[in-house]
Amino acid sequence: MLAYAVNRILLMIPTLIGVAVLVFFMLRIMPGDVVELKLKADGAAVTQETLDLERERLGLDKPLLAQFGDWMAGVATFNYGQSMWTGRPVAYEIGIRLELSLQVAVMATVIAILIAIPLGTISALYQNTWIDYVVRILAIAGLAVPSFWLGMLMMLGLLIFFNWLPPITFTHFYENPLENLSQLIWPALAVGYRYSAVATRMTRSTLLEVMREDYIRTARAKGVFERLVVARHAMRNALLPVVTVIGLEFAFLIGGLVVTEQVFNLNGIGKLFVEATTRGDYTMTQALVMLVAFFFILVNFTVDLLYAALDPRIRYR
């Protein structure tokens, strides 16, 4: 088990290096750079000299390979430099926004689990009845409705029925939990619905599969109450793939927030990402992509370990 974990950690490194290389060169293909976007923003006449000076300051005048070397060295030492747009350290800019996005992500996950596991179970136990059809249609609809649109509808509903809109400024949870939740519960619901749809479908299909297993028949033959058969024998095995899906979706949630944060005007990682890419802020975009990729790989790794821990049949050599 330990050897497996170490091996997996070592395998993460080449993937992360790959991400770092890919994102660096992808961004450099982009025509026009941050300097032009920043200084010529208002159509101001800027001399070539000023542009060159700014490029030199940001290190954009160096040869590509030298820039690449700097970037890789930064990655290795966890020093991501300054934002090319604001001039503040990338780590600082991300740090002040990460809390908000993470909180929304965690809340959305809780909402998704609370919805998905009961609904998926009921749907599987009453397969091909009207309950099953309603749940399945709800789940497929959850995959179809764009979460940013759902967010807009929520705001519209709040405005029409309560003549109230969620607060715009972020309050820390430990400062004023009510204020904090009244702002963040809506994006969490909007994203959580889609998230729950994925998990509901997974719960349903794995539970259906497990319920056909021999040991379920054995348990029933022994005269175990149906409730216990489902809760003890079936659920334990059915939940494994559900855990995987929840884990993987959690990693993607940070990405999913990109659009939803715009709707709710939340100053989180997603909004920062859109701003960074459209402004040509290389350092910021690179750092954010690395962060998201790292997060994704880490979650993947955790899910795999959890899998091995939960299922004695899966023991890696």
- Among 289, 316, 250, 313, smallest CA distance to 20 is for 289
The enclosing H or E element of 210 equals helix 177-210
CA pair distance 236, 63, nearest whole angstrom: 57
| 85 scored as a contact of another protein (CB under 8 A) | no
Stretch 151-190 residues interacting with another protein (CB under 8 A): 152-153, 155-156, 159-160
CA pair distance 27, 17, nearest whole angstrom: 16
What SS3 class is residue 174?
A: coil
Q: Is the CB of 19 or the CB of 189 nearer to another protein?
A: 19
| 230 scored as a contact of another protein (CB under 8 A) | no
Among the listed residues 19, 112, 113, 230, the single contact to another protein using CB under 8 A: 19
Give the shortest CB-44-to-another protein separation in angstroms. 22
Asked if residue 289 lies in contact with residue 224, where contact means CB atoms within 8 angstroms, the answer is no
Which residues does 231 contact at the CB level (< 8 Å), separation at least 6?
none
Rounded to whole angstroms, the maximal C-alpha distance in the chain is: 86
Stretch 276-295 residues interacting with another protein (CB under 8 A): 277-278, 280, 285, 289, 292-293
235-263 vs 90-125: helix axis angle to the nearest 10? 130
| 34 scored as a contact of another protein (CB under 8 A) | no
Stretch 90-149 residues interacting with another protein (CB under 8 A): 140-141, 143-146, 148-149
Q: Is the CB of 244 or the CB of 285 nearer to another protein?
A: 285
Residues that bind another protein (CB under 8 A): 14-15, 18-19, 22-23, 26-27, 29-31, 140-141, 143-146, 148-149, 152-153, 155-156, 159-160, 251-252, 254-256, 258-259, 262-263, 273-274, 277-278, 280, 285, 289, 292-293, 296-297, 300
